[in-house]
Amino acid sequence: MSWLHLLRSWSLRSTRRGSSRICLGCLSFGLAERRWGLSEDQSRPIIKRAIEGGINFFDTANAYGNGASEEVLGRAVHDYARRDEVVIATKVYSPMRADPNGRGLSRKAIMVEVEASLRRLNTDYIDLYQIHRWDDATPIEETLETLHDVIKSGKARYIGASNMAAWQFCKALQLADKHCWTRFVSMQPHYSLLYREEEREMLPLCESEGVGVIPWGPLARGRLARPWQEEPDTLRGRTDDIGADLYARTQEADKIVVDRLTSLSQTRGIPHAQLALAWLLSKPVLTAPVVGMTKPQHLEDAFAAVGVKLSEDEVKLLEAPYVPHPVSGL
C-alpha cells in the first residue's frame, strides 16, 4: 500500500509524517499571462496562510507559467516552512521550449526538466514527481526506467501520474513490477461532483493497487462554489477556455447537480465549496483534493471542508442526478 494511500484518513493538521488532506494547487501562482492569475506578491500570503493553517502539501508543474509557479512556491516554502516538513509535487511533460526535446517524457526531456524544476523550486529533491500526461511518442518503458533513475539519484522521493486512461496506468504499474522499477504511488485525475467518470475504472484500479488519488478540478473550475449561473460572473469563468471546454457539453445535467448542492447548502448553512470538497473527502480512495486558489476565502473554505461530515442520505442526494459525461481531461 502506497505512502499517499495510507494518508487519506489523516486530519488537516497531522502530527504524523505525511501530507495534509488538502493539497494546495499552485496553477495560478505567478501566472501573469492569464488575467486571473496571481503575481508573486499576491501568491505569497496564500501560501503562508496555508502553511499556518496546517496544509503541507503543494502541487505545481513545470509548465505553470513556464516555470514561474515553481519559482514562487520555492521561494515561499524557503521563507515560511522547513523543507522537510512540506510535500512538494511537480509535473513533467508539457512543452517548455520550441525544440523537439523541449517536451514529452523521453529520457532526455525528463533528465533536463527535473534539473530545471529543482533549480526553480530551490530544493535538492522533489517529494512527488509526476508525469502530466501519457506520452504517445515515447515508449512507456523508457519513461519508467528514467523515472526510476531519477528516484535512485535522490532527485525525487516518489513518482506519480496524471490524466490518462485506466488501461494505460495499469500497463505502467505492471511494467514497473516486471522490471523492478519504481512504482507510481499516486494518480491525479479529473474528478468532482460534476465529473465522475473516473469511478468506472481508474478509482477502483487505484483502490486495488494501493495508489493514492489526488484529484484536480474538485470544484469544477468554480462551478461547484456557487449557485448555478448560465453565464460566469468571475473573470476566470469568462476567460478560462479550458474550463469552458471541459463542461460546455454537459450544462443541462450539471445544473441539476449544482441545484442539489445549493439546496443542501441552504439547509445546512454551509457554503457550496465546503460541501463539494466534503463530498470528495468522504470517498475512502481519495488522499487529498488538489484545490486551486486565488482568494483568501478559497483557502478558508478548504480548511473548513475537512471538518464537514456528510450523511449517507446527503451523499445520495448529491450523487443521484449525475449522468454519464464525455471523457475529458486526458
Q: Supply the residues annotated as catalytic.
A: 64
Gyration radius of the chain's alpha carbons: 19
Q: How far is CA 100 from CA 126, 132, 176, in A?
A: 25, 17, 27
Residue type, 228: W
Q: How far apart are CA 289 and CA 215, in angstroms?
A: 5
| Phi, psi at 246, each rounded to 5° | -65, -35
Query: Where does residue 153 rank: exposed (0-12), middle (13-18), buried (19+ CB within 10 A)?
Result: exposed
Query: Where does residue 287 rank: exposed (0-12), middle (13-18), buried (19+ CB within 10 A)?
Result: buried
Beta-sheet pairing, 156-162 with 126-131:
parallel
Q: Collapse the DSSP code of 165 into the 3-class scheme (helix H, G, I; strand E, B; otherwise coil) and give the result.
A: coil
Quickly list DSSP for 118-145. HHHHT-S-EEEEEESS--TTS-HHHHHH
Query: Which set of grid coordinates corresponds to residue 183?
Result: 512504482
Q: How far apart are CA 329 and CA 163, in angstroms?
A: 6
Q: What is the largest CA-CA distance in the chain?
A: 55
Those residues with Cβ within 8 angstroms of residue 242's Cβ, 6 or more apart along the chain or in another chain: 221
Those residues with Cβ within 8 angstroms of residue 3's Cβ, 6 or more apart along the chain or in another chain: 18, 158, 185, 212
Nearest to 288 by CA among 237, 234, 214: 214
Return the H-helix or E-strand segment holding 178.
helix 166-179
The answer to whether 41 and 306 have CB atoms below 8 angstroms apart is: no
